[in-house]
Chain A
Amino acid sequence: MKRLLLAFTALVALVGIAVATVEVRSDVAALFGEHQVTTGALDTPSDRLTILALSAADPEPRERATDAVAAMLLAEPAVEAVMTGPVAPSRGFLDWLWQHRFQLMPPAPEDLEPAAMAEELEEARLMLAGAESLAVADKLLTDPTGSFARLLAAVSTTAARLDQENGLWVSKGRDATLLFITLADQPFDAAEISGLADRIRGAAVDAGANADLLGPRIISAEVSQFTARGSMWSGGIASALLLLTLAWLLRSGPAVGAVLLPVAIGVAVAVLAVQAIFGSVHAVALGFGGALCGLGLDYPLHLSARRGEARKQAARLVLIGALTTSVGFLALIGSGVEALVQTGVFVATGLSVAAITAQLLAVQHPHPARSIPAQSLIPKWRHRRVLECALIAAGVVAVLTAPAARPQTLFPLPEHLSAAIDRIAGMIDLPSGRYGIEVEGSSLTSLLEQQRALASELDGAKADGVISGYEMLATVFAIPPALDSLPAPDAFQAAAVAALDRAGMKPAFAERQTAAYRVALDAPPMSLDALDAHAELRALSAGIEATEGTLREAVRLYGVSDAGALKRIAEQAGARFVDRAAPVEAGLSDLRRTLILWFAIGGAASIALLTLALRDFRRTAGIALTCAAALSTTVGLSTLLLGPIDMFQIIALTLVTGIGIDYGLFLTHQDDGETGHPAAHSVALCAASTLIAFGVMALSSVELLQQIGLTVSLGVMTMLALNLIQPPETDRALP
């Protein structure tokens, strides 16, 4: 009891140190390396854009919900701006457009003919009578070239890409209003954004509508929170069930403490060790490593089931088991991927410390543990090795004949998010998230020139059905001419006088028109900052990325049907075709291959270490064959049920190997006469605890946890069945 209290005190101290010193990271770069796809993710202006669809059968609650949610959003510190429909240009924006009209929409030479200018003036005079011209009538009369009028039309056409109803943007089916939210330029905080999404949904429901959200930050936050919540629920349920099961099986509080404390201390030391070595602990190492360290529960169970000399021998086997499993996990260091290297160090440290602590805390409990009749549940069959070879072959066949690998994703989207994305995709034409064409220029002018060259090719692609549409800066603005190609102010004034006279207006007004013409000619060159300064242009400028001396815009492509043809078009236009998913898929595929290689190396190293420790090649070969059969069966079944195994399942297989070695070690041990029923009894206890933890995980709503849980559960069940299918006494006689 004194040892348990000391261990508990040590645990509290270790947890205290960990809480005070450990820094937890969750960056994806630790999995992929500093690749451009992941660097700076969620920090760009386009990452902060979010689409909100509010749907209701009737227009009235829809509009009410739109107003209520928009008002609520404007009071949110995490929100920078909300747009519910086309917005009239502000006076500042109109002035900016006016000043830069020749750079944005230069007049053609024929627009400067007196006859053409007179026509523009007559149209402007007609507009004077209407209320909608109140803001711009003077400018239309002052610019007879029509440049400003065309610019206004271009800007309003861009805004009119979406359907409208009562001044609100609506879905194609007119059953939802669409709001465009710009999140504040603050560091990404998953909990804050997820909370905002919940409040939006709540406000929408209160107003009688349903809300669907789509945007990079929203999706990341929701996936993160969904995974965290799912993990918490699974962890909580598994822990509670495990505790109840251990209490029922061991029938003593101190006995349960002696089983749990080694793992807890192992995990705490592992966290501190990883922090000390790497300067921080990655979330993958913490979550995944913590779960895998659960194997450490087996060590005290094996020890407490034995007494006297048998316990000393079991202690040796526990150490061998912990060492071989640690070697398997340490092989992850070879992958060179920081998060996985940390996981390897984490599990190796955690299991080694748990094994040593289990021995220090091993005490004789007053009540013997309850027995699990695992042996009686498994049918006996004398040709176990034949069965194992058959299972290996079946697993290999299943993997080789499996359908093509599913698309690789790091964290699969939860169903509710996939459904929301599908719904929004049905409401609005969304640009392809996968394909784009990057165009570069040293200034906005050269960027527009590059885009114009591409635009003619893309128009052809649209006509051929390769795409249904595209969007870039040049779809709104023309290429600014060299301003010296426009007539000198004196020549313009002469033409303006003639135009005013022709239109029946005062020729003297040409002086004011010429002054305005001169101001437009002398306007400073446009910059990206100037575009950013106007909310009306932010949707356009958000797609432009400025690096040292270069402006780059990814052209938004709609309805891509032939990526290969697009790639050729981009190359012809001197632009870069971008397949955003390709580097991620290639990265994950490389990672998977690396993991398989190091898993195999780790497995081989574990078996080599086992051979050295046991100095019994036949026994080691038997354990290795059983492990191979269980792994092959697990991989085969998992492939049939879920598709080709992913990287987290490969790491889970390392745990299955460690468990297999442990079971094999104890069930084939014969030195002290405890082989057979007592050994099967402790192995069954261990399997029960492992199956409870990973079985709960297999039932999780989080796909990642589901896959890991299913992999370990299948592996453990197969390993247990194979080890118990033939009594160990006869097993020993087999080659």
Chain B
Amino acid sequence: MLHPALDRPVVSRGLLDIGPQGQLIRHQTSPVEEVTSIGKRLITVDRPQDAYRNSVPIPGFMDLFLAVLREVVEGAGGREDDGRIVTLSNSPSGWTVTVSAANSDADTMGALALLGCGEVLRAIALDLPDGEARRIAFVPER
């Protein structure tokens, strides 16, 4: 996570998974251990060691980002009729797939970029207004 107020990015590590009820689960191992469960309506954060649990409703403008993330984790791929514009560009360092909402009035967080090389998806990048940026970099499981 990058922000203009910070000298260096905030880095968190963990594992993305699909839960038994189909929820997207983010097992964070550092900087603190926590489990974030993203369901149909809520994002729930659990930090049992701090006895902390918080659920917040999912804002509509996160839908596209969460849908793409879920498809990546499920390995499902996108659909043709899902109301998105997808563009592919190549560069010497690899390929970039940009996903944005087809409806220009849709409330989204902006365009998402899937960065990869060959058959490997390396990262998902989300650039927000005001200089905030988030990168989800995928590393092989050990």
Contacts and interface: CB of A to CB of B under 8 A. Distances in A.
Interface of A: 85-91, 121, 125, 128-132, 134-135, 137-138, 141-142, 156, 164, 166-168, 500, 504-506, 509, 512
Contacts of B54: 132
A356 B32 CA distance: 96
Nearest to A84: B41
Interface string B1-40: 1011111001010000000000000101001101010111
Most chain A beta-carbon contacts within 10 A, residue among B31, B42, B128: B42
Interface stretch (B58-66, B94-102, B114-122): B58-66
B4 A132 contact: no
Contact of A509 (B5, B40, B62, B134): B5
B107 interface: yes
B40 A167 contact: yes
A89 B60 CA distance: 9
A85 B57 contact: yes
Interface residues of B, number: 39
Contacts of B56: 88, 132, 156
Given A85-B57, A134-B62, 16 more contacts: A85-B41, A87-B57, A88-B60, A90-B59, A121-B5, A125-B10, A129-B12, A130-B34, A131-B45, A134-B109, A138-B132, A141-B5, A166-B39, A166-B40, A167-B57, A505-B6
B43 interface: yes
Contacts of B132: 137-138
5 shortest interchain CB distances as A-B pairs: A167-B41, A88-B59, A88-B57, A509-B5, A167-B42
Contacts of B6: 125, 505-506
Interface in B83-108: 107
B130 interface: yes
B28, B55, B65: residue with the most chain A Cβ atoms closer than 10 Å: B55
B59 A89 contact: yes
Interface of B: 1, 3-7, 10, 12, 26, 28, 31-32, 34, 36, 38-43, 45, 54-62, 65, 107, 109, 128-132, 134
A524 B142 CA distance: 56
A161 to B, nearest CB: 15
Contacts of B60: 88, 90
Contact of B130 (A121, A138, A166): A138
A142 B5 CA distance: 8
Contact of A91 (B43, B59, B130): B59
A156 B1 CA distance: 25
17 contacts: A86-B57, A121-B5, A125-B6, A128-B3, A129-B1, A129-B12, A131-B26, A131-B45, A132-B36, A134-B62, A134-B134, A135-B59, A137-B1, A138-B128, A166-B40, A512-B4, A512-B130
A138 B4 CA distance: 9
Contacts of A130: 34, 36, 45
B10 A129 contact: yes
B138 to A, nearest CB: 16
Contact of B55 (A125, A137, A167): A167
Nearest to A508: B4
Contact of A132 (B41, B43, B107, B129): B43
Contacts of A512: 4, 130
A164 B55 contact: yes
Contacts of B38: 131
Contacts of A168: 41
A137 B3 contact: yes
A559 B18 CA distance: 45
B42 A128 contact: no
B45 A132 contact: yes
Contacts of B28: 129
Contacts of A132: 36, 43, 45, 54, 56
Contacts of A134: 62, 65, 109, 134
A140 to B, nearest CB: 10
Contacts of A85: 41, 57
A627 B1 CA distance: 92
